[in-house]
């Protein structure tokens, strides 16, 4: 009797790959880390073996957005060659890593090192460096791209003006930010006031600390003892998402020990459906997957929402006007309960793109975070598999299949 091929559950994750890391350099002086999961040959079929795919995370995330669950494992099961980029200031592409590289190669650190970059920096420098790096490492002219949330938005923009992608997958990535979400609209219009209030508060605190330091310094001079250093000024340079998520992890641990609080926590489903994820995966992502995000990045998102636009302000490039230039196979995947990427906020991409293979799929019962680590990722990974297989079959001729919805 023939032996059935194993399922992804039958295979150990570590048996599917050889893990390496490499560094790419951006045109403005950042060193970015890419973690590669290179597939290893198996005894069962691997229909996509060796096809390179670049994964790019979202706002305030890092590589663990893809590895907290079994997303990468499912793609490796098909044989995809996975390259995970961590944008500047995130994960292994940290601020500390830039200082290490600067010292090692006797060069100045990046000019925007102190949390002075925005989304334009990701789009104009980080993404091109990563795409070029994957192409160089794999010796391919074109690669596949998969972006979650902000990473997907960057993919839309990039695909509109470059020909480096063989296929594009976006997960939880809106084309019109804030559309269909009143809370996001309200936050966007409140954003400038919040920033001004925080600046004013920190200014008051800095003035009080400066005055206290002056008094202590005068007293120390009278006593003829060494004066202490003036305290560094407090500035609102970044949003401390990493600290917030670690606090949330501690709160979740406490809630899980209380039946009442646990029931309440399980119903907090605005950006995540906890019933769609393993609790161990949630805690790991909260503790290890959060990053500080520059204030300028957050402010650019809020400006996009207020202005109903998605624009690279340094060049004037309008992502939305470029949607109609996307002709490669594309899959737009989002949760049907996601306040960020929903039918309303993704429709413009679907309607404008000229891709003949164009999947536009809501995943039932999902919000935003669990799309890359929840119980339904197998379905999403099969969507990715189908797109890559289609692209492989139509590499040397124009696609002719109808749109898929």
- Tokens in use for 294? 């520059």
pLDDT digits (tens, 9 = 90+) for 293-341: 999 999 999 999 999 999 999 999 999 999 999 999 999 999 999 999 9
Q: Which helix (H) or strand (E) holds 304?
A: helix 295-307
Lowest-confidence range among 33-37, 235-239, 303-307? 235-239
Which of 142, 147, 109, 103 is closest to 26 using CA atoms? 109
129, 207, 216, 230, 233 from 211: Cα distances, Å: 47, 6, 9, 10, 12
Bridge-partner residues for 145, per DSSP?
54, 168
Task: Read off the pTM.
Answer: 0.91
Query: Percentage of residues in the chain with pLDDT exceeding 70?
Result: 86
30, 239, 289, 330 from 61: Cα distances, Å: 18, 12, 6, 23
pLDDT at position 399 over 50: no
User: Between β-strands 317-318 and 330-335, what pairing exists: parallel, antiparallel or unpaired?
Assistant: unpaired
> What is the distance between the alpha carbons of residues 148 and 309, in angstroms, rounded to a whole number?
19
- Tokens in use for 271? 């950006």
Q: Between 147 and 400, whose confidence is greater?
A: 147
Q: Where are the domains of the chain?
A: 9-180+294-393
The DSSP secondary structure of 216-258, one letter per residue, reads: HHHHHHHTT-PPPPPPPPP---EE-HHHHHHHHHHHHHHHHTS
Assess contact for 131 and 323: CB atoms under 8 A.
Answer: no
Assess contact for 189 and 350: CB atoms under 8 A.
Answer: no
User: Between β-strands 17-25 and 165-171, what pairing exists: parallel, antiparallel or unpaired?
Assistant: unpaired
The residues near 34 (Cβ < 8 Å, ≥ 6 apart) are 21, 22, 23, 24, 83, 84, 85, 86, 130, 133, 134
pLDDT band of 251, cuts 50, 70, 90:
confident
150, 195, 234, 293, 389 from 154: Cα distances, Å: 6, 25, 31, 16, 23
pLDDT band of 22, cuts 50, 70, 90:
very high
pLDDT band of 123, cuts 50, 70, 90:
very high
Which of 166, 122, 175 is closest to 327 using CA atoms? 166
> What is the distance between the alpha carbons of residues 90 and 294, in angstroms, rounded to a whole number?
11
Query: Percentage of residues in the chain with pLDDT exceeding 90?
Result: 70
Assess contact for 237 and 115: CB atoms under 8 A.
Answer: yes
Q: Between 1 and 176, whose confidence is greater?
A: 176
User: Between β-strands 52-56 and 317-318, what pairing exists: parallel, antiparallel or unpaired?
Assistant: unpaired
What's the pLDDT score for residue 205?
62
pLDDT at position 44 over 90: yes
Any idea which residue has 């120390």 for tokens? 220
Q: Find which of 185-189, 282-286, 382-386 is predicted with most confidence, using mean pLDDT.
A: 382-386
What rounded mean pLDDT belongs to the chain? 89
Assess contact for 90 and 64: CB atoms under 8 A.
Answer: no
Select from 3.40.718.10, 3.40.50.720, 3.40.1190.20, 3.40.50.1820 the CATH code of 9-180+294-393. 3.40.50.1820
pLDDT band of 402, cuts 50, 70, 90:
very low
Q: Between 201 and 137, whose confidence is greater?
A: 137
Average pLDDT (349-377) is 95
Residue 396: alpha-carbon gap to chain centroid: 32
> What is the distance between the alpha carbons of residues 161 and 128, in angstroms, rounded to a whole number?
11
């Amino acid at each position: 009797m023939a032996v059935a091929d194993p399922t992804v559950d039958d295979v150990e994750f570590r048996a599917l790959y050889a893990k390496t890391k490499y560094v790419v350099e951006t045109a403005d002086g950042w060193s970015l880390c890419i973690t590669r999961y290179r597939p290893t040959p198996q005894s069962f079929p691997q229909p996509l073996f060796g096809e390179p795919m670049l994964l790019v995370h979202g706002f305030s995330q890092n590589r663990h957005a893809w590895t907290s669950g079994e997303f990468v494992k499912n793609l490796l099961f098909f044989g995809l060659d996975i390259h995970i980029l961590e944008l500047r200031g995130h994960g292994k592409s940290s601020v500390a890593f830039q200082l290490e590289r600067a010292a090692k190669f006797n060069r100045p650190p990046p000019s925007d090192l102190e949390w002075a970059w925005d989304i334009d920096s990701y789009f104009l420098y980080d993404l091109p460096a990563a795409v070029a790096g994957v192409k160089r490492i794999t010796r391919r002219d074109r690669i596949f791209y998969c972006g979650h949330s902000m990473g997907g938005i960057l993919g839309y923009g990039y695909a509109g003006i470059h020909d480096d992608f063989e296929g594009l997958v976006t997960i939880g990535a809106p084309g019109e930010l804030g559309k269909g979400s009143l809370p996001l609209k309200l936050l966007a219009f409140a954003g400038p006031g919040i920033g001004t209030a925080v600046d004013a508060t920190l200014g008051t605190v800095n003035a009080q600390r400066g005055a206290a330091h002056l008094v202590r310094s005068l007293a120390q001079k009278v006593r003829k003892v060494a004066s202490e250093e003036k305290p560094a000024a407090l500035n609102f340079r970044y949003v401390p998402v990493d600290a917030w998520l670690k606090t949330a992890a501690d709160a979740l641990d406490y809630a899980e020990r209380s039946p009442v609080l646990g029931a309440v926590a399980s119903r907090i489903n605005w950006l995540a459906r906890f019933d769609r994820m393993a609790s161990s995966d949630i805690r790991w992502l909260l503790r290890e997957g959060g990053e500080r995000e520059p204030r300028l990045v957050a402010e650019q998102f809020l400006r996009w929402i207020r202005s109903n636009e998605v624009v690279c302000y340094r060049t004037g490039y309008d992502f939305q006007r470029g949607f109609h230039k996307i002709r490669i196979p594309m899959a737009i995947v989002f949760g049907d309960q996601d306040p960020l990427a929903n039918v309303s906020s993704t429709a413009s991409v679907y309607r404008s793109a000229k891709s003949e293979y164009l999947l536009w799929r809501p995943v039932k019962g999902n919000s935003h975070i669990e799309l890359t680590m929840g119980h339904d990722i197998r379905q999403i990974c099969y969507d990715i598999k189908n797109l890559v297989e289609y692209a492989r079959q139509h590499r040397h001729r124009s696609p002719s299949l109808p749109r898929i919805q």
